[in-house]
C-alpha cells in the first residue's frame, strides 16, 4: 500500500510542481488522508485537534514544496513535515509528546473524514490584512475561482494571485511563530 502511495504521490507532486493544478488538488487530498490517519494515531490523549495538524501540515507542505527533490521519495518528506507540525502543535499547548521515529510505514488507506470544529486556521485568518483575508476567504470558503474573485473585488487576476500567495504564506508563518 505504501509503495503504491509513494509512486502515485510522487507522480502527482511532480506534475503539480510543473504547473498541473488538477494533479495538485489530487495530491493534497490524498496527503490530507494520510496525515489525518497519522495525526489520529499519534494524538491519543487529546489536547490537540488532529484536523488542525492536517491543515498546518498541508500549509507547510505548500509553502515548502521547493524543499522536495523530485528524485527523493515523497512519503518520508510528507511525514517528516507532519511530525514536525504535530510536535509543534503539542508544544504550543504546553504538552510533551513522544513520537516513535519508525512508525512511518504503517499507514492505513481507509478513507478518514474530517471532524468539524472551530479551527486554529480561522483565528489566524482573522488576523490577516483585510485585502488578503477577503481574497483567501473568497477562494477557499466561498470556493470562487481566481477569475471570479478578481471580478468580485474589481481587481486584476494577478493581484488576486499575489494576495492569495502572500496570505497563505503569512498564515503558514504565523503557525510557525506562535
Partner 1 sequence: MRTEDLIKALDADARSKAMPLRSAWWVATAAAAVIAAVVFWFTIGPRSDIMIAMHTMRFLSKFVFTIVLAGTAFALIHALSTPGASTGKAAAWMAAAPLLVLVAVVLELFAVPEAQWGTRLVGSNMMICMGFIPLIGIGPLAIFLWMLRYGAPTRPVLAGAVAGLLAGGLAATFYAAHCVDDSPLFVATWYTVAIIILTALGALGGRLFVRW
Lookup: cell for 140: 477557499
Task: Choose between 63 and 131: whose C-beta lies nearer to partner 1.
Answer: 63
- Cα angle, residue 62 at apex, residues 9 and 46 outer, rounded to 5°: 90
Least distance to partner 1, CB of residue 30, Å: 11
Element containing residue 28 per DSSP (H, E): helix 21-42
Quick one: 48 or 60, whose CB is closer to partner 1? 60
Q: What sign results for the dihedral spanned by CA atoms 42, 45, 49, 52?
A: negative
Give the footprint of partner 1 on this chain (CB under 8 A).
16, 19-21, 24-25, 28-29, 32, 51, 54-55, 58-60, 62-69, 72-73, 75-81, 83-84, 114, 116, 119, 121-122, 125, 136, 139-141, 143, 145-146, 161, 164-165, 168, 172-173, 176-177
Task: List, in sequence order, every beta strand (DSSP E) within 59-119.
Answer: none
CB of 66 to partner 1, least distance (A): 4
For 92, half-sphere exposure in the C-beta direction (CA atoms, 13 angstrom radius) is 18
CB of 127 to partner 1, least distance (A): 14
Smallest distance, partner 1 to C-beta of residue 42, A: 15
CA nearest neighbour of 176 among 75, 54, 92: 92
In the complex, the smallest distance separating the C-beta of residue 1 from partner 1, rounded to whole angstroms, is 19
Of 72 and 151, CB closest to partner 1: 72
Smaller CB separation from partner 1, 81 or 89: 81
Question: Rounded to 5 degrees, what angle do the CA atoms 67, 72, 77 make?
Answer: 55
Amino acid at each position: 500500500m505504501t509503495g503504491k502511495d509513494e509512486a502515485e504521490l510522487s507522480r502527482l507532486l511532480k506534475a503539480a510542481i510543473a504547473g498541473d493544478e488538477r494533479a495538485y488538488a489530487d495530491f493534497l487530498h490524498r496527503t490530507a488522508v494520510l496525515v489525518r490517519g497519522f495525526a489520529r494515531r499519534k494524538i491519543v490523549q487529546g489536547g490537540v485537534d488532529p484536523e488542525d495538524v492536517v491543515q498546518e501540515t498541508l500549509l507547510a507542505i505548500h509553502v515548502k514544496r521547493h524543499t522536495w527533490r523530485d528524485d527523493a521519495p515523497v512519503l518520508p518528506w510528507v511525514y517528516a513535515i507532519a511530525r514536525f507540525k504535530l510536535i509543534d502543535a503539542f508544544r504550543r499547548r504546553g504538552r510533551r509528546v513522544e513520537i516513535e521515529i519508525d512508525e512511518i510505514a504503517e499507514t492505513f488507506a481507509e478513507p478518514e473524514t474530517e471532524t468539524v470544529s472551530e479551527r486554529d486556521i480561522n483565528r489566524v485568518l482573522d488576523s490577516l490584512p483585510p485585502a488578503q483575508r477577503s481574497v483567501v476567504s473568497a477562494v477557499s470558503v466561498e470556493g470562487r475561482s481566481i477569475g471570479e474573485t478578481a471580478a468580485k473585488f474589481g481587481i486584476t487576476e494577478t493581484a488576486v494571485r499575489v494576495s492569495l500567495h502572500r496570505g497563505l504564506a503569512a498564515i503558514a508563518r504565523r503557525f510557525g511563530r506562535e
